[in-house]
Structure 1
Amino acid sequence: MLRNKRNEAIVALLLVAPFVAIYGLIFIYPTIRLLIISFQDAPLIGSGEFVGLENYTRLWGDRRFNTAFWNTAYFVAITVIPGTLVAFAIALGINRLKGRVQALVLAMFFLPYILPVSVVYLIWDWTLNFQFGIAMYIFDILGIDRVPVFKSTVWFMPAVGLITIWWTAGFSILLFLSGLRAIPAEIYEAAALDNASRLTTFRQLTWPLMWPVTALVLTIQLILQLKIFDQVYLFSVGGRPNDNLVLVYYVFQRAFQYDQGGRAAAAAVVLFIIVIVVSVLNFQLTRLSKGRE
């Protein structure tokens, strides 16, 4: 028995070893290096001088970092919960359809999700560009003044948030549809026999049973939107990039434009901690959802 267990353990270690090696190479080692560099006054490539917590203390007095932090928080606020609610509502509507119509409508909503960010940028630049955007010609017809959406500090984040919801909603819709289809039909039949209204059925049955999926979607969206970069970077071209900074954009600027590897690493560590906190919240939400069942 001992020999068999020892053989099984050896086989298990051999099977797990490649994954552990790759995981350590592409995640553990870079994370450790990131932490080390965050305590140094170092360029992006090369050694630096140890400065302790100076890079972290300088972040809070950096106007650009404060702008990036609050822009990220604002972006999360206007995309995560609204995007989740929109995806849930669309999933409820698609779930009522049948056959090919359901498949066609689902494909229409999922199609943007598979588009690369460069294509998303071109589509919406053609739509909202101040000079040649389709929407601007509609404004001219209606007698409305044109709005420089991507060059306005007021309109930039809401516009990019709307585009992001349109772009990423497809995956959330799929998750919600999977959850809705997992609910037994007998539950709704029993509610119909009790003459429960649609609103009551939704509040008492659908919403509580869908809470685990909702918690999952919220957490995925939180992590994704905290790491927002591509859309902000592309739509800021020719605009006011320093006013539209988000945390990953700030890291990009410090590392690749100013060659300040230490300060970029410190900002990246702060973002990393925020993502970890979100993951812990996900665990708590999952426990809460189990308690409601």
Structure 2
Amino acid sequence: MKLGRNQATAAFILVAPFVIAYLVLFIYPTYKMVQLSFTDAPLIGEGNWIGWANYIKLASDKQFFAAALHTGYFVLLTVIPTTLLGLVIALMVTRLKGWLQSLVLAAFFLPYILPVTVVFLIWQWMLDLQFGIAQYAIELFNGSRVAVFRDKYWAMPSVAFITIWWTNGFNVLLFIAGLRNISQDLYDAASLDNASSWQQFRHLTWPLIWPVTALVLTIQLILQLKIFDQIYLFTQGGPFNSTYVMVQYIYKFAFQLNRGGYAAAVAVILFLVIVVVSVLQYQVLRVRGARS
């Protein structure tokens, strides 16, 4: 009995810092955000309790639904493409050996460690209408140069492309870790059965790498639903609000219009969407992986 009590005490001591930090840094702020969403409070200070008024107003706010639509569009442009690209790059990198593998992997991972401001400066220069070297490629396919961040048709795809370039190195590392956990004996046995490279990928690699794929898809979905930094730096929500996203909508009401209660209501909606969609997606992907 004394040994069990000591073990419980040790476990409590080890777990307590995490539990305290989780309560202070996540649970309490979430509770305060939900509470604030039912008031007309400014960003800093107390407000009056107004019940569901903020949520009722959201239901008829066209700008809110436009921001939600733009966020969904950005998710479509990034989540699946960056996951597939990460898998393809990981498959290519694992075929390399020695220093060449390390060099190529470092080249793909290097953008991920850059801060968003550096990424902004790099691509602002590369896509400059007059001097940007990327404009030569745009001119080749489009017939003329394009001010991509001031064009409503080019702005969102351009930010999505830059986001994939910037963040895909992390996905590559996850896929490489998953691929290295697959025993080489399985591939040797498949080769003895005269299985082609495609057959090995379809019936061996893909099912075994599926848990990592589900993880990458879920992480990317959560991250891209919260898109803000790139949008704010590259387009500020323009042109003509064509890149105006949910977090920027929250930023506008909280920090520019000083309407903390209404901004909190939008944040609660976004939080619930992220939780529900990410959990549903992960469960669907997990079930699909179990069946394959």
Unaligned runs of 5+ in 1: none
Counterparts in 2 of 1:33-72, with a 5 A limit? 33-72=32-71
Q: 1:231 to 1:16 in 2, by over 3 A?
A: same
In structure 2, what is the Cα distance between the partners aligned to 1:196 and 1:72? 43
**Aligned-pair Cα RMSD in Å:** 2.1
Structure 1 residues 14-23 or 188-197, which shifts more? Answer: 14-23
Q: 1:139 to 1:4 in 2, by over 3 A?
A: closer
The alpha-carbon deviation at position 60 of structure 1 amounts to 2.6
Q: 1:286 to 1:149 in 2, by over 3 A?
A: closer
Structure 1 ranges of 4+ moved more than 6 A? 140-143
2:157 counterpart of 1:158? yes
Residue identity opposite 2:50 in structure 1 = V
Asked whether the 8 Å contact 1:64–1:242 carries over to 2, the reply is no
In structure 2, what is the Cα distance between the partners aligned to 1:238 and 1:67? 11
In structure 1, what is the Cα distance between the partners aligned to 2:155 and 2:260? 28
Equivalent position of 1:99 in the other structure: 98
Deviations 1:241-262 (A, max 9, x none): 7332111111111100111101
Structure 1 residues 251-260 or 194-203, which shifts more? Answer: 194-203
How many aligned positions are there?
292
Equivalent position of 2:11 in the other structure: 12
2:224 counterpart of 1:225? yes
Q: 1:86 to 1:146 in 2, by over 3 A?
A: same
Q: 1:175 to 1:46 in 2, by over 3 A?
A: same
Residue identity opposite 2:27 in structure 1 = I
2:171 counterpart of 1:172? yes
2:177 counterpart of 1:211? no
Counterparts in 2 of 1:131-210, with a 5 A limit? 131-136=130-135, 144-210=143-209
Equivalent position of 2:73 in the other structure: 74
In structure 2, what is the Cα distance between the partners aligned to 1:6 and 1:123? 58
Q: 1:139 to 1:221 in 2, by over 3 A?
A: closer
The alpha-carbon deviation at position 113 of structure 1 amounts to 0.4
Structure 1 residues 209-218 or 5-14, which shifts more? Answer: 5-14
Identity of matched residues, %: 57
Asked whether the 8 Å contact 2:152–2:240 carries over to 1, the reply is no
Residue identity opposite 1:207 in structure 2 = W
Structure 1 residues 131-140 or 219-228, which shifts more? Answer: 131-140
The alpha-carbon deviation at position 148 of structure 1 amounts to 1.4
TM-score, normalising length: structure 1: 0.93
Structure 1 residues 255-264 or 237-246, which shifts more? Answer: 237-246
Equivalent position of 1:266 in the other structure: 265
The alpha-carbon deviation at position 270 of structure 1 amounts to 0.8
Deviations 1:48-105 (A, max 9, x none): 1111111112113212211110011000001000111111111111111111001000
Deviations 1:143-182 (A, max 9, x none): 9322110011111110000001101110000111111111
Equivalent position of 1:234 in the other structure: 233
Asked whether the 8 Å contact 1:95–1:177 carries over to 2, the reply is yes
Structure 1 residues 36-45 or 132-141, which shifts more? Answer: 132-141
The alpha-carbon deviation at position 283 of structure 1 amounts to 4.4
Asked whether the 8 Å contact 2:237–2:244 carries over to 1, the reply is no
Unaligned runs of 5+ in 2: none
Asked whether the 8 Å contact 2:214–2:285 carries over to 1, the reply is yes
